[in-house]
Structure 1
């Protein structure tokens, strides 16, 4: 009986969830294309079935032709829609509940995945069975590393990094370097147990993610990845693997307008109320 359940819970080797809300279509199509290539590289290593959930939180145009192209490449596509804009974490949870896989990738619609990234990542997880969440080397459009692994933040860290003008940030260089783990995160060294990793690319063992019940639905946007990272440490290890490489085209809350700043502040309050306030 247990064997039957285990087999049915891993119909797919990898599942992927992507939440879209009024997406930048050029970025989204780049993400689809990079996922397609990365999955092809993965399947060349192992004939692994892939399950891809696209969660439409609003504003997604007809993607049926693109889904057909992905299905031709062996990627099973499922569109989840009709629920409205329920937020980033709750959107992913709709897919996580349906996932029948060994590994699950939480993916942003502004991420380009290197061709070898998924193959390298799953090879690593196959070897290191205590790793429950893998975070990649995340670069920007110029190829520079983005320091998105974090130590536990203070309010001052968040204000400086998110909202202080760039020409004033040099007064806080050492502080930000510590928060962004620049003393440990680099291009070559695997780093075990960074406290917080970015939600733009979170590769989980699906059993770990389901044990945590996915994202906390109380966060509409922002800090849901901080929350999930900290909770993951309670049940599994988190690891930064720089040989797994992706490129991130996203921007911060302050560059997206007042509505995003308000959501950022609201989520920060929820986060600190749960895990403890640190000011400076």
Structure 2
């Protein structure tokens, strides 16, 4: 693996994937890459002319993934690493890739996501059948087998506080409010949902032309709310859709579980978000 900064080849591939890594847990990152390989293999079995490329952005502390990248290359996936820029943040890290690629589709992927083997095939089949779709969100599962309700309606400050920071024993008092914010009345295992206002940045599959039109993430967010911002802007140029046939597993946690530094970043990004799109308190 090349630990120097490299530039992804600017050629037309059908699917590119950006994976931003900052001190990611080694075993989980390896599992994410292996699951991506399996999903690409299923996709290539159905579309043997399709090309795929993974670009890993090393924001710091990249574990040794040479074996996983070698295995991915054997599965026909081109791989490269961008490093040397330091920790530029989540959105800017992905932007380093977005500005260079020339693919048909681009996947923004977290290093704590495991893809179902058929996730990419089902996603591209949906895109083919629905050309108005610009951004696709999957069914995001948890480790217990349930759904993580990561599609969102526009948040209020109270919604964010209850979901992110309120002790679990007090949350039942706000269950109806939280259910509405998390779109539990719409998101399920079988219904396609058009135009969810906000979708999660842990897995955002775009038509690359749409993503480039949006110029990727707003670089003013270092971490948190960059996906809220990008989701809302995506509605201005294309259709956004939740597709439960596209399935992934998410191992991530909330900001409050990650310490005071993450809470400060969360609050700073929330301030930028509401300043741009409008404050809602209750």
TM-score (norm 2): 0.95
Q: Helix, strand or coil: the match of 1:58?
A: coil
String of CA shifts for 1:72-91, please: whole Å, max 9, x gaps.
11100010000000000000
* Equivalence map 1:202-221=2 (5 Å): 202-221=204-223
Partner in structure 2 of residue 26 of structure 1:
27
Give the number of equivalent residue pairs: 273
Cα distance in 2 between the residues matched to 1:116 and 1:191: 20
Residues 1:245 and 2:247 are matched in the alignment:
yes
Query: Cα RMSD over matched residues?
Result: 1.1
Cα distance in 2 between the residues matched to 1:66 and 1:101: 23
* Deviation of the 1:26 alpha carbon: 1.1
Equivalent pair of 1:136/1:240 in contact (CA under 8 Å): yes
String of CA shifts for 1:148-183, please: whole Å, max 9, x gaps.
000000000000000000110000000000000011
* Deviation of the 1:70 alpha carbon: 1.1
TM-score (norm 1): 0.96
Q: Helix, strand or coil: the match of 1:101?
A: coil
Cα distance in 1 between the residues matched to 2:128 and 2:213: 19
Equivalent pair of 2:30/2:65 in contact (CA under 8 Å): no
Cα distance in 2 between the residues matched to 1:148 and 1:64: 32
Partner in structure 1 of residue 51 of structure 2:
49
* Deviation of the 1:9 alpha carbon: 7.6
Equivalent pair of 1:10/1:102 in contact (CA under 8 Å): no
Residues 1:94 and 2:96 are matched in the alignment:
yes
* Deviation of the 1:10 alpha carbon: 6.6
Equivalent pair of 1:21/1:60 in contact (CA under 8 Å): yes
Cα distance in 2 between the residues matched to 1:25 and 1:66: 11
Cα distance in 2 between the residues matched to 1:92 and 1:206: 13
Partner in structure 1 of residue 80 of structure 2:
78
Q: Helix, strand or coil: the match of 1:86?
A: coil
* Deviation of the 1:107 alpha carbon: 0.2
Equivalent pair of 1:130/1:236 in contact (CA under 8 Å): yes
